[in-house]
Amino acid sequence: MAQGFLCRRDTRWSEGRKKDLGWLYSKVPAAAAGVYTTNQFQAAPTKLTKQTVNLDHQLQAVVMNSANANSCTGPQGLVNAKTMQHLAAKKLGLTDQLVGVASTGIIGEPLPMDKITNGISQLSLTKSAAVTEAVLTTDKHPKSISVQFEFNNEPVIVTGFAKGSGMIHPKMATMLGFVTTDAKIDGVALQQLLNQQVDETFNQITVDGDTSTNDMVLVLANGMAQTSPVTADPAGYALFAAAFHQVLSFLAKSIAKDGEGATKLVEADVLHAYNHDEAQMVAKAIVGSNLVKAAIFGEDPNWGRLMGAIGQTKAHLDTNHVDVWLNDQPVVKDSQAYLIDPQVVASHLHENQVNVKVDLHNGKALGQAWGCDLTYQYVKINASYHN
């Protein structure tokens, strides 16, 4: 964890479905940046946190809960989100405007405010890695990473954790992500960097093509590292941006790998596209295709599904010269079958990570996206989510 930050998952505030509260806290006010779901039914805590961050790009704490999204809950939902914000601020001795709120879980059910109030009253200012579990829903694993680099001969730390397993098709977001750093950087510069890097990481993952009502990525930078501002030195900024990208990329891939019911991480690499946007588009189309995802689950070397996914995009294509590899095994050359035994190709799909590489031979741009296979377990999980 970066210097000056405390975090905690303290309580199970109800029986039955896992219901947890947690928080992040900085010893000093931190520069803050956020990206938020583009779903039109944006949840109350997401709206409130966006408004709070946009006031002056500062936060000092975030309170979070799982099991209840506080989304599609009418005017009372916003009242309840503000109550969470106020209770946490009072507990920490802060103004409400320094506290963000994050919720995830069932949509459409009112927050049980008696339990929330009791839970917040029990939260303590200590440091615990268990905060990564406070926002899990159908996730199988917590997702966290910490990266350190040296600037001005002093250590600077960037730490992140995230939740996400279903409703993953960010535009932003369909997940919760929290990044803390002790780097010195102002809120506007932090927001610009987050916007740029989210497009290359979280917005390039998909599990099921559904964009949630809730979630977001928040970044807090408290400046407690004993260095000059990273934006004052191009080399320092490059180091910070690289560490920041490493954290976001790891969390994005971890979410894709932990997709509901998933058994395989799918990575798509697109080469020689007409431009970067088209490269990203093709990569995202591959990992988002249900037919491709099902074939990879069944370890079926049906490369025609890949060609279908590529061809339905608006990318510029030379349809006579597209090459495809599955885990480095060539399967398509010049848009036709590469002569090889299908069983040999299938053997390359037994691994728990499948790389699809596509060469469009139509430019210099590269693209990358991540997803997972589509399994029977995904249907089972989502057929009984309320239970």
List, as residue ranges, the binding site: 137, 163, 174, 260, 382
CATH label of the domain that carries residue 366: 3.10.20.340
Burial bucket for residue 17 (CB in 10 Å: 0-12, 13-18, 19+): middle
Work out the number of other CB atoms within 10 angstroms of the CB of residue 339. 7
The answer on pLDDT for 171 being more than 80 is no
Q: Chain-wide mean pLDDT for the chain?
A: 88
List, as residue ranges, the binding site for substrate: 137, 163, 174, 260, 382
Domain shared by 296 and 338, yes or no: yes
List the one residue out of 113, 107, 18, 103 whose CA is nearest residue 64. Answer: 103
Q: What is the pLDDT of residue 92?
A: 93
Q: Which of 16-20, 124-128, 248-252, 332-336 has the lowest average pLDDT?
A: 16-20
Domain shared by 111 and 198, yes or no: yes
Domain shared by 131 and 236, yes or no: yes
State the pTM of this model: 0.87
Of the residues 229, 257, 285, which one is the last residue of a structural domain?
257
Torsion angles phi and psi, residue 9, rounded to 5 = -115, 110
Q: What is the pLDDT of residue 14?
A: 46
Which is more confidently placed, 208 or 374?
374
Percent of the chain with pLDDT over 90: 67
| 150/144 Cα distance (integer angstroms) | 21
Instruction: For residues 204-222, give the mean pLDDT.
Output: 81
User: Could you tell me if 157 and 148 are in contact, meaning their C-beta atoms sit under 8 angstroms apart?
Assistant: yes
CATH label of the domain that carries residue 189: 3.60.70.12
Band the pLDDT of 365: cuts 50, 70, 90: very high
Q: What is the pLDDT of residue 128?
A: 52
Domain shared by 188 and 73, yes or no: yes
Q: What is the pLDDT of residue 147?
A: 97
Q: Which of 16-20, 204-208, 315-319 has the lowest average pLDDT?
A: 16-20
Which is more confidently placed, 131 or 144?
144
What residues are annotated to the active site? 174
| 147/29 Cα distance (integer angstroms) | 22
Instruction: For residues 287-316, give the mean pLDDT.
Output: 96
Instruction: For residues 105-133, give the mean pLDDT.
Output: 79
Q: What is the pLDDT of residue 136?
A: 47
| 81/187 Cα distance (integer angstroms) | 24
Domain shared by 279 and 228, yes or no: no
Which single residue is written with the structure tokens 């750093």? Answer: 181
Of the residues 225, 257, 289, which one is the last residue of a structural domain?
257
Q: What is the pLDDT of residues 49-99, one digit of tens each?
A: 999 999 999 999 999 988 899 999 999 999 999 999 999 999 999 999 999
Domain shared by 79 and 221, yes or no: yes
Domain shared by 241 and 330, yes or no: no
Domain shared by 330 and 232, yes or no: no
Runs of H (alpha helix) within 93-209: 113-122, 187-200
Q: What is the pLDDT of residue 166?
A: 47
Domain shared by 222 and 310, yes or no: no
Domain shared by 63 and 92, yes or no: yes
Structural tokens at position 39: 């779903």
Instruction: For residues 154-163, give the mean pLDDT.
Output: 91
Task: Tell me the β-bridge partners of 6.
Answer: 25
Q: What is the pLDDT of residue 13?
A: 47
Q: Which of 59-73, 135-149, 164-178, 258-272 has the lowest average pLDDT?
A: 164-178
Give the count of domains, the chain: 2
Band the pLDDT of 219: cuts 50, 70, 90: very high
Q: What is the pLDDT of residue 368?
A: 97
Of the residues 198, 226, 257, which one is the last residue of a structural domain?
257
Which single residue is written with the structure tokens 């058994």? Answer: 263
Domain shared by 236 and 307, yes or no: no
Q: What is the pLDDT of residue 164?
A: 59
Instruction: For residues 10-26, give the mean pLDDT.
Output: 66
| 195/307 Cα distance (integer angstroms) | 31
Q: What is the pLDDT of residue 51?
A: 98
Domain shared by 94 and 240, yes or no: yes
Percent of the chain with pLDDT over 70: 87
Domain ranges, residue 364: 265-383
